[in-house]
Amino acid sequence: MSDAQPTGSTVSETGTARVKRGMAEMLKGGVIMDVVTPEQAKIAEDAGAVAVMALERVPADIRAQGGVARMSDPDLIDGIISAVSIPVMAKARIGHFVEARVLQSLGVDYIDESEVLTPADYANHIDKWAFTVPFVCGATNLGEALRRINEGAAMIRSKGEAGTGDVSNATTHMRRIRAELRKLSALPEDELYVAAKELQAPYELVKEVAATGKLPVVLFTAGGIATPADAAMMMQLGAEGVFVGSGIFKSGDPAKRAEAIVKATTFHDDPDVLAKVSRGLGEAMVGINVDDVPEPHRLAERGW
Amino acid sequence: MPKGPTTRPVIGVLALQGDVREHAAMLERAGARAMPVRRERELSEVDGLVLPGGESTTMSRLLESFELLEPLRARLAQGMPAFGSCAGMILLARQALDGRQDQHQLDAIDMVVRRNAFGRQVDSFESDLDVTGVDGGPLHAVFIRAPWVEKTGDDVEVIARVPHTQEPPAAADRIVAVRQGTVLATAFHPELTGDERVHRLFVGIVQEA
């Protein structure tokens, strides 16, 4: 059989916007699960997770224990990286570019610049263009999403209220982002300048989004998702995939729930499948109503 | 069903997880009608199938859970044309190294692939390649936590390799695209670059099958 000749002197490039954003495209339709041990990471991989988020504490525990929440111990992240073959993500504090450098050197596949940790800078987020590793950032509205993309985020997740098991904030923010996208794409071109001002986002990016009607990066959802039906609803509301934090390993039967949420995400529009996978999952995480969380303790409001 | 050369073939995209929409868009541009495939009934309606990029472990698991694995194996055995990119290439292989023991292989191409062979995400790269059967100059290829092909059987045609200059030296000249009969596989993602030449090649294979 014939054999292709290798090409000569082409330069190959790492860390481009295309490979960063492309990585998120590969996660679409999938579930990314918070894990705190290599054993949990294996359960997540067994269940069909597309990636795991390596953490010391899930958001529900961060919320319960209080104090300053920081990047995880590199030993813990290394342990999780060696336990699974799927991508491993890890969280850095908002604005903490040194934590991000450390995570990049550990070889994590994606960094979440996350409001679940205590912010390190109340004015600036990390300059994400300066990294080879891609970043995902949270957003409660379109302007916030575009500001993060302008700083180099290669993936956006709509924020919910992490660690509550209450999906209401996730729905609010996903609906808001979708509504703002629809509104923007209906505007005449000469109104985009003011739209950019109001969104506090760069005009060029606003113009691009207005033309395509979608973000230039993948949009996932996160925060408060605890059941297969929650995940399916978020997919129907326009999420391209789901992060599940405390919802799995704070429940009665994590392996079964994890697998059910994976199936529900793929078959989000099929009520028969959803009914089938929702049976006999044991206790869901107990949960807190977002309204009962005092405002200073609401994580979704961090980031700007 | 007899088809003239002008008939648009119906090509499915396995839609369990991954970059399904990108493949569907490229197939449409390359002259096919694309449809998502998640169920056995949908599989029976297509003339060919694309297995997209994504996580091969997740797709393998869902293929089994939703009873699509055996029907898919059966259709491939009957000669249905298929094209897999990245995770899709891994699924089509006879054997995958550095994978999970319980991962299912469709064994549609007699090859051994190594998962994440080029490294982790920080090692993901883009590069220009010549692909046999794709005219019009080098193709810009995007590799994301990509596999490479370690071994091929006699019936497998190697249609692309990474450049000799690829770093690290262990990666140089590795096989990244193959064809066996009507089954095509690439370690890179032709669906991400807006260049539909690989999809045209596949649509042509489906039309001739």
Say whether B189 is catalytic.
yes
- Respond yes or no on whether the N-terminal peptide bond of residue A202 is cis (omega within 30° of 0): no
Selecting among A20, A42, A91, A128, the annotated active-site residue is A91
A250: helix, coil or strand? coil
Give the total residue count for chain A: 304
Do the Cβ atoms of A266 and B159 come within 8 Å?
A: no
The contacts of residue A32 (CB under 8 Å, 6+ apart) are A49, A50, A51, A52, A53, A89, A220, A241, A242, A243, A244
Chain B neighbors of A133, CB-CB under 8 A: 121-122
Question: How many other β-carbons are positioned within 10 Å of the β-carbon of residue A170?
Answer: 30
CB–CB contacts below 8 A, A to B: 170
Please provide the average confidence, as pLDDT, over all residues in chain A. Answer: 93
Of residues A9, A85, A110, nearest to B100 (C-beta): A85
Do the Cβ atoms of B55 and A267 come within 8 Å?
A: no
- Residue owning tokens 């207005």: A210
**pLDDT value at residue A8:** 42
Contact with chain B for residue A18, Cβ under 8 A: yes
Say whether B86 is catalytic.
yes
d(CA A73, CA A54): 10
Burial of residue B24 (CB within 10 Å: 0-12, 13-18, 19+) is buried
Chain B neighbors of A256, CB-CB under 8 A: none
Do the Cβ atoms of B144 and A104 come within 8 Å?
A: no
* The pair of three-digit structure tokens given for residue B68, joined into one six-digit string: 């699509």
Confidence category of residue B126, pLDDT binned at 50, 70, 90: very high
Predicted confidence (pLDDT) at residue A4 exceeds the cutoff of 70: no
Selecting among B22, B23, B104, B189, the annotated active-site residue is B189
Selecting among B23, B191, B196, B199, the annotated active-site residue is B191
d(CA B129, CA B140): 6
Contact with chain A for residue B17, Cβ under 8 A: yes
Question: Ranked by mean pLDDT, which of A286-290, A296-300, B22-26 comes out on top?
Answer: B22-26
Phi, psi at residue A187, to the nearest 5°?
A: -75, 145
Query: Residue B133, Cα to own-chain centre: how many angstroms?
Result: 16
Chain A neighbors of B146, CB-CB under 8 A: none
Percent of chain A with pLDDT over 90: 80
Mutation site, A12, A81, A128, interface B, largest B CB count within 10 A: A12
Instruction: Say what the ipTM of the complex is.
Output: 0.94
Chain A neighbors of B132, CB-CB under 8 A: 2, 4
Mean pLDDT, residues B174-201: 98
Confidence category of residue A9, pLDDT binned at 50, 70, 90: very low
Confidence category of residue A2, pLDDT binned at 50, 70, 90: very low
**Distance, in angstroms, between A122 CA and closest chain B CA?**
28
Do the Cβ atoms of A266 and B16 come within 8 Å?
A: yes
Confidence category of residue A1, pLDDT binned at 50, 70, 90: very low
Contact with chain B for residue A220, Cβ under 8 A: no
Contact with chain A for residue B159, Cβ under 8 A: yes
Predicted confidence (pLDDT) at residue A6 exceeds the cutoff of 70: no
Contact with chain B for residue A10, Cβ under 8 A: yes
Question: How many other β-carbons are positioned within 10 Å of the β-carbon of residue B209?
Answer: 14
**pLDDT value at residue A7:** 43
For B3-35, write each residue's pLDDT tens digit.
Answer: 455 679 999 999 999 999 999 999 999 999 999
For B66-111, write each residue's pLDDT tens digit.
Answer: 999 999 999 999 999 999 999 999 999 999 999 888 899 999 999 9
**Domains recognised in chain A with CATH numbers:** 17-253+283-297 (3.20.20.70)
Phi, psi at residue A54, to the nearest 5°?
A: -85, 120
Confidence category of residue A109, pLDDT binned at 50, 70, 90: very high
